[in-house]
Structures are given as C-alpha cells and as structure tokens.
Amino acid sequence: GLGPVRATGSASADDGTRAAERAQTGRVGTSLHAPASERVVSGLEPYTLDVAIPGLLHASLVRSPHPHARIRSIDTTEALALPGVHAVLTHHDSPATLYSSARHEDRFDDPDDSRVFDDVVRFRGQRVAAVIADDVGIAEAAVRLVRVDYEVVPAVFDPEEARRPGAPLVHGDKDPAVSRLADPQRNIVAEMHGEHGDVAAGLARADAVVSGTWSTHRVAHTHLETHATVGWMEEGRLVLRTSSQVPFLVQREICRLFELEPEEVRVFTARVGGGFGGKQEILTEDVVTLAVLATGRPVQLEFTRSDEFTLSPARHPMRVGVTVGATADGVLTALAVDVLSDTGAYGNHGPGVMFHGCNESVALYRSPAKRVDAQSVYTNNLPSGAFRGYGLGQVIFAIESALDELARELGISGFEIRRRNAVVPGDPLIITHAEGPDLGFGGSYGLDQCLDLAEQALRDGGGDQVPAGDRWLVGEGMAAAMIATMPPRGHFADVTVAMSADGVVTVSVGTAEFGNGTTTVHAQLAATALGTRPDRIRIRQSDTDVTRYDTGAFGSAGTVVAGKAVHVAATALADLLREAAAARTGVAADAFALTPDALTTPDGISVPIAELVGPDGLSATAHEDGALRSLAFNVHAFRVAVDPATGEIRILRSVQAVDAGTVLNPAQLRGQVEGGTGQALGTAMYEEVVHDGEGRILTDVLRNYHIPQLADLPVTEVLFADTHDANGPLGAKSMSEAPYNPVAPALANAVRDAIGTRPHDLPMSRDRVWRLLHGGG
C-alpha cells in the first residue's frame, strides 16, 4: 500500500506535532518522486532477466492440448537427440510432494493440490514437461518433438455443473485432509455457510426488497514484465533471481519441495515489473529449480505474453446473488449473499479469495440479519488466483448494485442509503458472526467524509460536457467500499536501519518494489525519523541473503507493515543518536534535534554525526507482526453519457474520495488511486479473458485483449479524507488494492441511471450495453 499525508479538512489534536515533524525534515507529506521513475519510463531500469550469466540455458514448456487427461507415457527420445538439448524434465523427475502455487505466511491457507509436473493434466495448456536447451529456439523446436500419449477423460467447465452430483471430478484423487479441501468428491475447494439473525423474518418485515444475480468475469493481470526466473548454483548454493512479490515465501516453499535447507537457497528480486497479485505465486521458480539441480547449469524460464493469458492464473470469475430488504426510511432489515467462485483447475488462492470477498463487503453495512453462502469450485478452466482486491471487487459489484436499486425503489439517493446503514465506530463488524478484536477502526473513520466529498464533487459542475446531439442519455452513480489495511493472521516484517559515519542511512527491508512505491515511502519514513533527506537513504530490499524476513508485498502491506517497521527502526536509531549526544554533552537527550550532519539544540550546541557514529556504524532493528488491522474506505462517483445507438459509455466526471489516513506522499497516493481506477475501468468496460466453453483461451495476445489506453481513461479527481490511523506509520493507512473495488459498481449504477436498465454482467462492453438498451438482456 502507498502511504497516505494529511490533506484537506479540519486539523486534529496532534496536527501541530506532526506539522512540526514535517517542517523539520521536509519529507513526509511531500510529493517526492520515485527515485527510479526516469529509468523505468526510459527503459534503463534492470529487471529480472537483464543480467548476463555465462553458460545460461533456456527452458521451454511442453503443454497439454487437452483440458483433462491422464498421461500414459512421454517419449523424449527425439527431443533429446536434437543438438543443443541438455534435458527434458517430466513428472518422473518431479518431487512427489504436493504444494500450492499460492503463497501466504501460513502455507496451510491454500490447498496442496499441485506438482511441478503431474501425470494428470487438468486444464488446456497445463505444463507437462520442460525442455532445457542452449537457446530458446532450440528448446521450442525440441518441445515439438516430445511425444505425449494422453488418455482423455471427461472435463467440466461450468462451475454450476461442477458441483452437481455426477460431474467429472477435477481432483477426485485427493485426500481432503491432506490437501485441505472441503469436498473433492463434489469439486468443492472451500465453502462457508452462516446466518446472523433471521434473514427470512427480516425480509418479511421489509417495505422494499431487491433480489438479483450478478456475474463477474476472468481478467488477466497484464503486468508489463511477464513471470520470469533465472537460477544458478553458486558455491554449492541455489540462487534464484525472480520476478516475485514474495521472495521469502518462495525460498521457504522451494526448500520444502526440494528438501533443501534455507541456507542452501538464496532468492532475490531486481525491480519487479508489476504484480497485482499475479506474482504471489510460484509459477517459474519451481521449474527453474528442478532444471538447475538436474543440469548443474544456470537456467532461465520466461513466460511469453501468450503464456500469461493461458498459463498464469487470472481473476476469479464469480456469480453473486444478493437479496436485500429495507424499511420505508431506508434502514436495512436483511442482507443475504450467495457466491459461486470458479477457482479453475487448481485451488491456489481459491479459499482466501472466497472468504475475503465475503468479508468487508458484507461487514460494511449494519443489518439485524445477514446470511452468507459461498463455495469455491474446481473446474477444468484456467486456474484463478490472487488479483487486486482479492475477491472484494467481485462481491462489492453485486452488493453495491443491489443497494443502489434498493435506494431507487425507496426514492432516496445512493449516498443517503449508505449514510443510514454503513457501520460507524462502536458498531460490531458482522458477516455471519462478529469479527475478532484484531480488526477495528484504528481510532479513525473517514467514510462519512468520503461520502460528502464525492457527493459535493458531483454537484460542483466539473467534468466534461455532454457530447453534442440530443441522443445521449446521462446518468450518475456511486459506490462505497471498505477494506482491512492488511491480511489477517499475521504479516511480518523485520527491518534494520543503519547509519554510517558520513550520515548515509541504509534501510534493509525484505518487501519487493513492483511499482507500489514502497521504496519512496520507506525512504521518506526513515528520513522523517532521522531528520535527514531522502537522497541520503539507501534502500536494500527483497533479498533473502541481504535483508531480514518479510512475508511479502501483498495485501497492501508495504506501508502499514514493512513501512511501519522502517519508521520504528529509524526512530529507535534516532533515539540512540540522541542518547549518544546526551552522553557526550551532558544535555538531555530530548533536547536534541536531528539534521543530516549533526544533532543540535536550540541553545546552539551541535554534535556532528561523525563523532557519534563509529567506523562500524550504528543500527537499530524493528519487527512488525501485522496483529492490529484498521479499516480504509473508498467512495467512487461517476457522471456518464451513454449513446443508445452504439452502447458507448462516455465518462463525463470521475471522482474518488479515499480514507487513507495520513498521506505520506500525495502525488504517489493520487497515482495509486488513478492507477487503480484505470485498472478497474478496464475490468468494468473492456477486459475479458474469453474461452470457447471447453477451456481454450481465445484472448491470448494483447492484440485482442483491450487494456485501457490513456485516451480511454477519464481524469479522475482524487480527494483525501482527513483521518489519522492509530496503527499505521505516522497515521497512514494502506491504499493499494482499495481504489479498485468501488469503481465497477459505481459505473454500473451510473449506466443504470442513464439507460433505465440494470447491468448485471461484466464487462459493460458496448455490445452488452446496446443489448440492454434494446431489450437483449
């Protein structure tokens, strides 16, 4: 997550203290640009494979043409005979250990249902073998010479059909206890069922009830850098340079799979070219490890863009049913949610996405009765995985759409129905039960401000004018979202901050930089605590040999966990410097202020840092465990014009109000919100991974997968609520995944307002909107 600085709004009680701190350093609260930004946009920043390694071999993958089949045999004779081929690795060479490609702090969060190479394939395009050769051309030629004898077995592609009795079983061979599956004999990976209060009674006493089913689709991450790993042996140790959000978790699982000790494996990243959850997986590291250990040579595996569409997990498609009732004055009486999530051929992230999708989306609103029924189901489709929002975007799309329709029936505004029903501090956070004490408001609450800011922005007359001509239909819509500021059950960061005698500060932090901006914010946090400039901060990150442990860069934890550890360690180092200055001068430690080169007092005493820091430097450490989670809020609002002749949606006004706590870097935070909005508009209007109904991906190149261009995107005004979080560093909350979640329902609500018909399916492409306008559903 990107940090949030105090923006517009009234001052809080501790504002004077924090203003003085900002004035002292000039860094926290300023829009410091990312140090690597110019190198990134000019193509000069080195990424994973921008490294020259002597003797490098290349891996290419043999992939299944069938969605479900058993492998009878694999003949590698012809491939091995091709000059330049060093090995062909199959399931016979793979560890027997089952694992999940998904990575979490607790590996038991995800089902163990995968092997590096398996003798059963469960989706079209699944990897079957790897050819290791002198170059990619030879490897790809050899791939075509590998002869695989398949026994094709029945497959299932519709998640509704997959959970019916008699459906083909995707993982029927798995022991549910060993693999941690709810019921593999029904293709159920995970499920939840629960009720708080009496939903039937709540609906019976409602003056208005809305019920509907919404569907969301498969979306690709399309990060600029594809999945890639290069590995080699160095002094008897395995080294993996990889494009990952979670290098320490990769190291842990590679050790488990290949029976290696942690000191035998180093995993590190260069700059990662985008993630969005897609690199919270092991997709290339396992194959490269197998190849390096088999050949003793350096080996590289790089996904093509087509591989990203046909092999890399996508966003979970979901079907979400919502029934909601309210009294005539707009107070909810019952909320029921039914979720069916297609996790595809493997269960990586399937349980977590389902549970999280049904969490803050339901907990946001007070209701005396709530019911949730949810299932995550295996199919023989492309696997689904972690994606920005982690399930919330799908369920929020349905709930916020239903709530908008309910407001219409009651004749009140979308803003007002949320004001009357959203949780406020003091309310329990209830899904089908009350959330535990680890999740709370963190001493701050900004949803009320976000609703006011977004509503005022729609009324201020800003935005584009309605296009010329009288055919355009104009509408407005909004939606709200709530998200916990970090994952549950622990997210750890261990940080060291060290200062040398010349005043240069080195921050060693394990989290990865992939465009999330943590490098910049961490430098600002350290500079603020140490009274120095960010250009004197050196960041060492995401290397299991160089930095201490970090769970990883996911769940918006980059600022609120790793960033907090940076600030705590830097503050401890500042205290050590003050104590050293006090011991040298006899002046009280708290009288000293830190500057880049010295510690000074108002009385004119100055002690150079070089006199306090010896030749070995001075350092401090900190540990954060992510035990206390706060809540962040986002409200998005649109004004749109829809052309009934073509179904085109033109966005005339786009505004998002965010409750991000203290805004550590305003420009970076705006960039995060604008980027999240742009990505969400791609999901809402353009992007869709399409398959033919039998698991074959049809959108396998960017030519036929529409990522929004700058010309497709509106200007989004970003407004900051004035809050200060008790748990985050200097009052900051996370704001990385959160901006994505309210965008699609806000747009759907605006389209509904314009055309009078409710969109239930994503994406809201021109043809779908045209059919809605002309009775096609």
At 342-374, the pLDDT tens digits run 999 999 999 999 999 999 999 999 999 999 999
**Structural domain contains residue 52:** no
What is the pLDDT of the chain when averaged over all its residues? Answer: 95
CA distances for 703 relative to 305, 306, 421, 532, 695, angstroms: 11, 11, 44, 48, 20
Rg (CA), the chain: 27
Q: Which of 574, 594, 624 is the last residue of a domain?
A: 624
DSSP-assigned states of every residue in 739-768: GGTTHHHHHHHHHHHHHSS---BS---HHH
What pLDDT, on a 0 to 100 scale, did the predictor assign at position 485?
87
Which of 638, 636, 635 lies closest to 475 in space, CA to CA?
638
Task: Please check whether residues 675 and 712 belong to one and the same domain.
Answer: yes
Task: Please check whether residues 499 and 590 belong to one and the same domain.
Answer: yes
What pLDDT, on a 0 to 100 scale, did the predictor assign at position 356?
97
User: Is residue 586 a contact partner of residue 575, using CB atoms and an 8 Å limit?
Assistant: no
What gap in Å lies between CA 179 and CA 177, rounded to an integer?
Answer: 6
What pLDDT, on a 0 to 100 scale, did the predictor assign at position 560?
95
**Structural domain contains residue 721:** yes
Amino acid identity, residue 85?
A: V
CA atoms within 13 A on the CB side of 100: 31
Task: Please check whether residues 618 and 748 belong to one and the same domain.
Answer: no
**Structural domain contains residue 171:** no
At 450-472, the pLDDT tens digits run 999 999 999 998 999 999 989 99
pLDDT band at 33 (very low <50, low <70, confident <90, very high): confident
Task: Please check whether residues 63 and 99 belong to one and the same domain.
Answer: yes
At 262-288, the pLDDT tens digits run 999 999 999 999 999 999 999 999 999
CATH of the domain at 431: 3.30.365.10
User: Is residue 267 a contact partner of residue 549, using CB atoms and an 8 Å limit?
Assistant: no
**Structural domain contains residue 35:** no
Mean pLDDT of 10-29: 47
What gap in Å lies between CA 348 and CA 261, rounded to an integer?
Answer: 25
The answer on pLDDT for 554 being more than 80 is yes
Task: Please check whether residues 74 and 214 belong to one and the same domain.
Answer: no
User: Is residue 712 a contact partner of residue 650, using CB atoms and an 8 Å limit?
Assistant: no
Task: Please check whether residues 507 and 472 belong to one and the same domain.
Answer: no
In angstroms, the first-to-last Cα distance of the chain is 38
Which of 17, 20, 21, 101 lies closest to 574 in space, CA to CA?
21
**Tokens read off for 235:** 């002094």
Mean pLDDT of 469-497: 94
The answer on pLDDT for 27 being more than 90 is no
Residue 604 is part of which domain span? 491-624
Helical axes 350-357 vs 392-410, angle rounded to 10°: 20
Task: Please check whether residues 651 and 745 belong to one and the same domain.
Answer: yes
What pLDDT, on a 0 to 100 scale, did the predictor assign at position 775?
87
Task: Please check whether residues 255 and 402 belong to one and the same domain.
Answer: no
What pLDDT, on a 0 to 100 scale, did the predictor assign at position 583?
98
What is the share, in percent, of the chain residues with pLDDT greater than 70?
97
Task: Please check whether residues 379 and 525 belong to one and the same domain.
Answer: no
Mean pLDDT of 115-133: 99
The answer on pLDDT for 214 being more than 80 is yes
Task: Please check whether residues 280 and 335 belong to one and the same domain.
Answer: no
**Bridge partners, 661 (sequence order):** 732
**Structural domain contains residue 163:** no
Number of domains forming the structure of the chain: 4
pLDDT band at 751 (very low <50, low <70, confident <90, very high): very high
Q: Which of 255, 272, 302 is the last residue of a domain?
A: 302
Q: Which of 267, 302, 337 is the last residue of a domain?
A: 302
